[in-house]
Amino acid sequence: MMGVGTLRATRARLRAAPSPRECGAEVTPFDPTDGADPDAIDAWYARLHAGGPLHYNVARRVWIINRHEHVRAGARSHDTLSSAESITPARNDRLSMMIAMDRPEHTRLRRIVARQFTHEAIDQRRPAIEGIVREAFDAVRPGEPFDVVQALSGPIPVEVIAELLGIPRSDRGRFREWSDRVVVAFGVVTYTALARNVGSIFGSTVALHRYLNGAIVERRRSPGDDLLSPLIASSEDGRLTDG
């Protein structure tokens, strides 16, 4: 439940914010959280792109940027737009995650992690990643229609992340299940849907943390050729905490 102080601060911030008209935004009834079917979404995207670059949904108090160059510019406007209250519909300034931080702390953490994603490091993992992609395609029946998200773009990234972290194949089913439930909190959903899934999200987050904490203990005993081991080394020299 939102505290009184937080509610007052939110209301004050909304009152201080410029109106859509002052920002040159077009008011739209399009609601990205309404669960519309794909055909309806495509039609709305066409309308958005036919209009101006900035739209606003009054009911949801959602700003919509629909041009690639503006989204790109927004993602780089570090001094104007903030990620420090998370990237979820429900604002939270206590998420100790790199994607929910601004500079300079985000830059410091990203610099440490980026060392594991050089061209040389990626090339070393290329055979394993290609194997994951090949398995996903092999599971698709030739000549039959299939859902690209469900069959490919959903499972492949989680499998690759598990591979980078050194998660055993025997554990990847539950690793993906936990991950899928956790990312619901970061989707474009209504508060009602978020409340309905909060138990699953919280339980999966706790399970995932418990599992990764165990993996960290194991890697400290026996470092491996994975992403966790060098990150653990960074924690031991004081640049990272276990959290």
Whether the bond between 104 and the residue before it is cis, its omega within 30 degrees of 0, is yes
Q: Can you read off the two tokens belonging to residue 85?
A: 């209250």
pLDDT of 5: 45
Question: Could you tell me which residues are beta bridge partners of residue 192?
Answer: none
Q: Which residue carries 């055979």 as its tokens?
A: 127
Task: Work out the average pLDDT over 195-209.
Answer: 89
93 lies in a domain?
Answer: no
pLDDT of 102: 86
Same domain? For 115 and 207 the reply is: yes
pLDDT of 55: 92
Q: What is the CATH number of the domain that holds 175?
A: 1.10.630.10
How far lies 206's CA from each of 88, 155, 203, in Å? 18, 21, 5
Q: Confirm whether pTM is higher than 0.75.
A: no
Same domain? For 60 and 157 the reply is: no
Opening angle at CA 149, ends 151 and 123, nearest 5: 75
Task: Work out the average pLDDT over 69-97.
Answer: 77
pLDDT of 154: 87
Residue 152: pLDDT over 80: yes
- More confident site: 1 or 203: 203
Q: Give the dihedral of Cα atoms 30, 34, 35, 36; nearest 10 deg.
A: -40
104 lies in a domain?
Answer: no
Q: Give the dihedral of Cα atoms 216, 236, 94, 112; nearest 10 deg.
A: -100
pLDDT of 14: 47
Same domain? For 29 and 137 the reply is: no
Task: Work out the average pLDDT over 198-202.
Answer: 89
Specify the number of domains making up the chain: 2
- More confident site: 189 or 111: 111
For 49-58, 127-136, 190-199, which range has the lowest pLDDT when averaged over its residues? 190-199
Same domain? For 67 and 122 the reply is: no
pLDDT of 88: 63
Residue 36: pLDDT over 80: no
- More confident site: 33 or 209: 209
pLDDT of 97: 79
Cβ atoms of 158 and 180 closer than 8 Å: yes
How far lies 50's CA from each of 43, 56, 154, 156, in Å? 11, 15, 30, 34
pLDDT in tens, 5-16: 444 454 555 455
Same domain? For 161 and 221 the reply is: yes
| Angstrom distance (rounded) from CA 200 to CA 191 | 15
Same domain? For 115 and 77 the reply is: no
* Range of the structural domain that residue 35 is part of: 14-81
Same domain? For 195 and 134 the reply is: yes
**Three-state secondary structure readout of the chain:** CCCHHHHHHHHHHHHHCCCCCCCCCEECCCCCCCCCCHHHHHHHHHHHHHCCCEEEECCCCEEEECCHHHHHHHHCCCCCCCCCCCCCCCCCCCCCCHHHCCCCHHHHHHHHHHHHHCHHHHHHHHHHHHHHHHHHHHCCCCCCCCCHHHHHHCHHHHHHHHHHHCCCHHHHHHHHHHHHHHHHHHCCCCHHHHHHCHHHHHHHHHHHHHHHHHHHHHHHHCCCCCCHHHHHHHHHCCCCCCC
Task: Work out the average pLDDT over 48-74.
Answer: 87
| Angstrom distance (rounded) from CA 49 to CA 199 | 37
The percentage of the chain sitting over the pLDDT mark of 90, rounded to a whole number, equals 28
